[in-house]
Structure 1
């Protein structure tokens, strides 16, 4: 069994964590994580903190480890990155080349051309949205 995580705060860190945990302009997860660190510094165990906040204890351990490794910046909330974009700048250039040709293209035809060239299927509505963003309009 691993040793419990020992959190020791300087008076300045404790003051900053208290401000973070009470500031309504701070992201709610950052406020929660600051409160968890303060309770751990007061001697609360991770399972007790988890019960108090109705969280899994692995979440508490994660927050405490991040604080020990990174300090206060480790408590800042960062939005998860999400999935990478399917529509790339190369696809935009490809669409511009197609639209420069002397023919009329529909969104479904452009979607099919993109699928053949890049192997990525995009809905015609998505193609239309990107074309509008690129400055193309039609009536």
Structure 2
């Protein structure tokens, strides 16, 4: 089932912050991409247009919009992955102490 036309509100202040993220060479590429998506969405681009332009599926665009609407600018960054589980056993830890 297709989703209805989706719009989220992005304030002028947030748009300025998104622009800074979008143009900063120090910003993670994924965050820069999400900032670009949000800025174009604010200008009226639809999910299908964004999906075609960025060569991403519709669900990925919806996920980016949802992350922003739920968490704001901080939601654009990926959470830290937990990594591999430790191989340190209690015996090894005790030996090292």
TM-score by structure 1 length?
0.61
The gaps in structure 2 that reach 5 residues or longer are: none
TM-score by structure 2 length?
0.84
CA contact (8 A) 1:5 1:64 kept: no
Partner residue in 1 for 2:76? 75
Distance in 1 separating the partners of 2:91 and 2:47: 49
Partner residue in 1 for 2:29? 28
The gaps in structure 1 that reach 5 residues or longer are: 97-133, 135-139
**Deviating 4+ runs (over 3 angstroms):** none
Higher relative CO (Cα under 8 Å, sequence separation at least 6) belongs to: 2
Which of 1 and 2 has greater Rg?
1
Partner residue in 1 for 2:63? 62
Distance in 1 separating the partners of 2:91 and 2:44: 56
Alignment RMSD, CA only?
A: 2.0
